[in-house]
Amino acid sequence: MKKKIVSVLLTTVLLASCLSGCGGDSASADNTSAGTSESQASAGTEEKVGAQITVDKSATDNVKVEGDFSGADLTVFIYAQDHEKTVYQTLIDKFMETTGANVTFEVTTADEYGQKILAYKAANDMPDIIYVGPDTVAANVDDGYILPLDEYVSEETIADLWPAITTAYRYDGKEAGKGPIYCLPKDLSTFAFAYNKTLFDEAGVDYPDPENPYTWEEFLEVCGKLTIDKDGDGEIDQWGCANALQWALDAFIYTNGGHFLNDDYTQVVIDGQQEFIDAFQYFADLTCKHGVTPTVEQDTALGGYQRWLDGQVAFYACGTWDVGAFMDENTFPYEWGLCAWPTGSTGVSMTRNGSVGFAVSADTQYPEAAAALITLFSTDLEGQRVLSGETTGASLQIPNTMSYAKGDFKDRIADGTIPYGDNVDVIFNYIEGTDKYEGIFVETTYTYNADWWNEFLSGGYEYVLTGEKTAAEYCAEVQPAMQAALDNANDMKAAASGQ
Amino acid sequence: MEGKKGNKQKCKLSAMAKREERWGLLFVAAPAAGFLIFMLYPIIFAILTSLTTWNGAKGFQGMMDRFCGFDNYVKLFADKKFWQTLVTTTIYLLGIPIGMILGLLCAMGMNRKIPGVRVLRTMYYVPVISSLVSVSILWAWVYNYDYGLLNTIIKTLTGMHGPNWLGDEALIKVSMIIFMVWKGLGTSIILYLAGLQNIPRSYYEAAMVDGATGWQKFKNITLPLLSPVTFYILVTTLIGGFQVFVEVQVMTPSGNGGIGYSAATIVFYLYQKAFESFQLGYASAIAVILAIIIFIITLINFIGQNKWVKTMD
């Protein structure tokens, strides 16, 4: 009998441990959501938003397609959300109907795209049209995978694209930013800063002025006023801001004149570089010294993105792809506006731009047809109207064509057709650049791979945010591993380009 | 003469025998082809790849153009992250004996006629058949610093905030081991249960007649006769233990391998090198070393089994 009781007790205890796995999903948030959406800056990966947007196929009825490509057989392989897929499928249908070409459209997820493209490359069986980001243009050109487009796309079309985009997709065999253009953009995104107007009103703090970005000191002061124990239980439950280091650190480093690499991207130069160290330390002090962001522990429990959506933080990053979500009352029931990232010693507010582009395979038998199709994807006005929110009411990107972006698009925001946060000019300022704003492609864009940056991220930077290490100590510690990874990347580039 | 006659007889039967032989070969051909295509070819390909700096470009020719000899192996042995992930992987293996002991205890408990034992057996097996990704997400929530079940219990019982299970270099390893033990427990229980039910009752009856205590029966009958099962579990879990990947990818914040790469396993590192950095040559070198390690450990297990694995024969 005794043994039976012990047996029952033993199994019950272990059963309890088994069942515990079924009870954890009490909160509604996923702390990786910000990372997912941000890491695919150019892809507009808000699943919640994607699921809510419906695209009326008749919206592209007026698409104009010219040319006769009878007999051409193209394969398009990209990653896309459902609404994007619908837009592109509609454009493809129109293209096939008008030109006589046959198009096979294959779509995957952003997560799986890299692996699948790798498989295509290894099998020497590249689709005719693929996605290529600015950071992989050089590698793809060196390996002979993609075609220069200047010969197939009109100068007029290229001239109407944002200069930031065309620069990102040029490569002359040695340097990025020069030479022929290899992609037409799927989008151009920028990582602006946003503030929750409701929280500002409640705290009685003036809204930020987009014309006069905060200095770091001013930003800290404002964040202090917005960091509040709202329910008086002795614990902070509203913070001035929340920053995910992998996406937000750039905005602090570059505005302070700092940089990770030397001018020719061969040396990691963070150890002892005062501009970099000061910026990183300021970034960390916001958390560990001033407490105006959630702590590292709190951040692992619930990421900044979800805290922003829950109205727990006053400032948060806002990518152009986020606008649709932030304007959806069910997702974000607050008033909000765009503002500048705070400025360091340069006095210029800086942030990262992002993009992904349509490229044509160098092996395609139908370069003209492929180029015509990507021109349609990238610049067709009706398609741009859908993706930028004019016909859907949810903006996931700014238009690729400047004529539409600066004209109708802005007008539709002004008259409320396209729901948008206040101060849309902040986005344009980062994209076009002004004396107070500058959007840039980060340094990983210009190196063969991002391993050196991954070394920075996996070296334990969290200890700087917790205050257990100083920024200077961390930079000294992690630089050798970053340098080794960069050397390796440069060796790979040399092997690929035969330099 | 007789021999010749015998040969002739064999030839006479050859019509039928040949047909059977053909069928036989056909049946053998399927697994043989499977082995050649899905095992031998990839192994040889991986070994070849490990001798190159191939990034996946330009097919086989592209690979051979980037032949680098043993450079990848030289770099690998000087690579801190390789050693760090190898040590972490080895630490995770501590969960294997824990899981085996718990599995045996549970199996012994469930080998008795207690109410609801079939339901219990089924419930313990649920984690095994559940999607690894799903249960990893679930456990990431169990370990959540603010909202997790564990810390909620700790706070309720002690009034203090629990630790940051997935945000501390040491605790994240403990958390992973607990999760892996939980996930694998069902398999050990089922195998031990089958083993226990295979032991003839007459052995225990004879021991009772001899006046053996419960502990003596366990030590001298149960444990030795379960040793083949223990051996099987040990070998399979060791091989699986060296290949942990999904848990790290799903449970570490942003899939970054944990703070300071503290939760990353060797396969996680291999994956990052292959599919994020596109260093297929280097990743293949890691795979080859991993295969050698697994092979040696399995070999040691098989050589050592004579000393402790007993059968009823």
Query: Considering only CB atoms, which chain B residues are within 8 Å of A143?
Result: 55, 57-58, 62
**Confidence grade of residue A388 (pLDDT, cut at 50, 70, 90):** confident
Query: Considering only CB atoms, which chain A residues are within 8 Å of B278?
Result: 118, 449
With a cut of 70, say whether residue A23 has pLDDT above it. Answer: no
> Are the Cβ atoms of A121 and B259 closer than 8 angstroms?
no
Return the pLDDT at A58. Answer: 64
> Are the Cβ atoms of A24 and B139 closer than 8 angstroms?
yes
Query: Considering only CB atoms, which chain B residues are within 8 Å of A464?
Result: none
> Are the Cβ atoms of B254 and A32 closer than 8 angstroms?
yes
The secondary structure of residue B146, as a DSSP letter, is T
Return the pLDDT at A498. Answer: 60
Q: How far apart are CA A349 and CA A438, in angstroms?
A: 6
* CA closest to A299 among chain B residues: B145
B259 touches A at CB < 8 Å: yes
Phi-psi region of B211 (alpha: psi -120 to 50; beta: other; left: phi over 0): left
**Confidence grade of residue A466 (pLDDT, cut at 50, 70, 90):** very high
> Are the Cβ atoms of A24 and B138 closer than 8 angstroms?
yes
User: Average pLDDT for residues B48-73, to the nearest whole number?
Assistant: 89
Count of pairs with CB atoms under 8 A, one residue in A, one in B: 152
Phi, psi of A187 (to 5 degrees): -165, 170
Query: Residue A21: which residues within 8 A CB-CB, separation 6 or more?
Result: B127, B135, B138, B139, B142, B182
Pair A202, A332: CB distance under 8 Å: no
Return the pLDDT at A4. Answer: 52
What does the angle CA A230 – CA A235 – CA A241 come to, to the nearest 5 degrees? Answer: 70
User: Average pLDDT for residues A249-270, to the nearest whole number?
Assistant: 96
A349-360 and A336-339 as β-strands: parallel, antiparallel, unpaired? Answer: unpaired
pLDDT in tens, A292-330: 999 999 998 899 999 999 999 999 999 988 888 898 888
Tell me the two tokens of residue B182: 């939980």
pLDDT > 90: percent of chain A? 61
With a cut of 60, say whether residue A40 has pLDDT above it. Answer: no
Pair A252, A465: CB distance under 8 Å: no
B281 touches A at CB < 8 Å: no
B42 touches A at CB < 8 Å: no
* Strands in A156-281 per DSSP E: 170-171, 176-181, 184-196, 239-241
Return the pLDDT at A61. Answer: 65
Chain B, residues 114-133, CB within 8 A of chain A, namely 114-115, 117, 120, 123-124, 126-127
pLDDT in tens, A178-188: 899 999 999 99
Residue B280: name the closest of A74, A118, A164 by CA: A118
Output the pTM of the full model: 0.83
Return the pLDDT at A25. Answer: 33
User: Average pLDDT for residues A23-42, to the nearest whole number?
Assistant: 32
With a cut of 60, say whether residue A384 has pLDDT above it. Answer: yes
Return the pLDDT at A497. Answer: 65
With a cut of 50, say whether residue A31 has pLDDT above it. Answer: no
Tell me the two tokens of residue B18: 């040949």
Q: How far apart are CA A396 and CA A419, in angstroms?
A: 11
Residue A34: name the closest of A185, A277, A210, A245 by CA: A245
For residue A265, give the amino acid letter.
Y
B108 touches A at CB < 8 Å: yes
Q: Which of A4, A20, A449 lies closest to B112 in CB terms? A: A4
* CA closest to A121 among chain B residues: B57
The secondary structure of residue B114, as a DSSP letter, is -
Residue B274: name the closest of B47, B45, B54 by CA: B54
With a cut of 70, say whether residue A282 has pLDDT above it. Answer: yes
* CA closest to A126 among chain B residues: B58
Most confident of A134-138, B87-91, B272-276: B87-91
Average pLDDT, chain A: 86
User: Average pLDDT for residues A80-89, to the nearest whole number?
Assistant: 81
